[in-house]
Structure 1
Amino acid sequence: MNNGTFEYKMPQNVVFLTCGVDVMDDSLEGEVKAWDEKEHCFGLFIFRIEGSPGQNKVWCKLGNIISSFYETEDNDKIKISCTCIDSGGHFTDEVYKFCKEREHNNVYAVKGKTESRKTLISSVNTSNKANIKLFMINSDIAKELIFEKLKNGEMHFFNFYSNEYFLQLRGEKRIETSTVTRWRAIRAQRQALDYTVNNFVAYEIVKPKQRMVLK
């Protein structure tokens, strides 16, 4: 995969880039997406940084990816506007530390929370040991948005994206009953879905800025 140097130029109507990261026990996995003014998203590249997230070198590599410039078709160079990193696993302290040092660059910790509210971002609080902004997210709402965009052809990918990626992206199934709607895992490996959720949260955070840009 990519080490932070992106070989493919993205469409020139891109407004923002986002990055979503899933924290595994043996790696960081994520994806950089581009978004246009119609809220279509374009998968630019996925990455896997090998090594325990307890190691500083793993986070240094992620820092290089999210601080790099990426080139559009008309040769403009833009940076990632917002990065969201899962903080609900075994490396919460490491996630908090990384985000605290980069919060001024819109690098945020997120954590899934199942609740009845119909908003993607349930709440934002700083009541944590690092006093950082922690975004509590409704993962079910994010999955609804992802599958709706897939259905409507509003998510786009380069042809080097693998079948494994799309199997992971569709690694959960929506189950409806008379009283509740829930998502059930149909694959063990679903990292692509998890970091896509975080990309959608990142876009939700910067979306108000997009509206200002387009005025």
Structure 2
Amino acid sequence: MFNDTVDSMNAADDNLTIELSMAELREVTGYAVACAEPVLAIFERDCPDDPRPRAVLDEARRFAAGGKRTKALRVTALDAHRAARAAGETHHEAAVDAARAAGHAGGAAYLHPLAKATQGGHILMSAAHAARALELDAGDDRSVGDEYIEKATSLASPLVVSVLRRYPPAPSGRGRVGELWRKLDASLRENLGHPKDRVC
């Protein structure tokens, strides 16, 4: 009986909607782009003939600056994830996560107003994959990824944090990238409590 009640509550939570404005989507996308940009150089160093991650960052940057949310943004985001798979086939593991960071930056524009923990990935997975790319590029030095999460925390505007807090905390799983996502998620939620970060 208890499990049935919990399942019903979870189903209800899944149907809850969250208010999101286009300005907020642009702010979230701009944040994701800022998090992904530093690792584009890793991808282009290892896969110099593949323009797909750069293409999605260009499209996402245009949207964040006030442009329309075009089909090209969705297409280039998917292409960046295909570029990640291609990098994996040539065993460029840091480039895989760099391309995924770019792909998720494009996906940030498609954050859905549903109260699901996985939706937070549209906001933070770009940073999590960028952090993973940097630590892999440093020989899997996890302190490098942790340092980047601190940087990503400082990059988030109060508006980005406000949007994040409308969603449930990051879910479990997803290996090291999931761990980095949860670390950033927790850091941003905690920092909103500081006077300098409060949204008026």
Give TM-score scaled by structure 1 length: 0.26
- Structure with the higher fraction of residues in strand conformation: 1
- Structure with the higher fraction of residues in helix conformation: 2
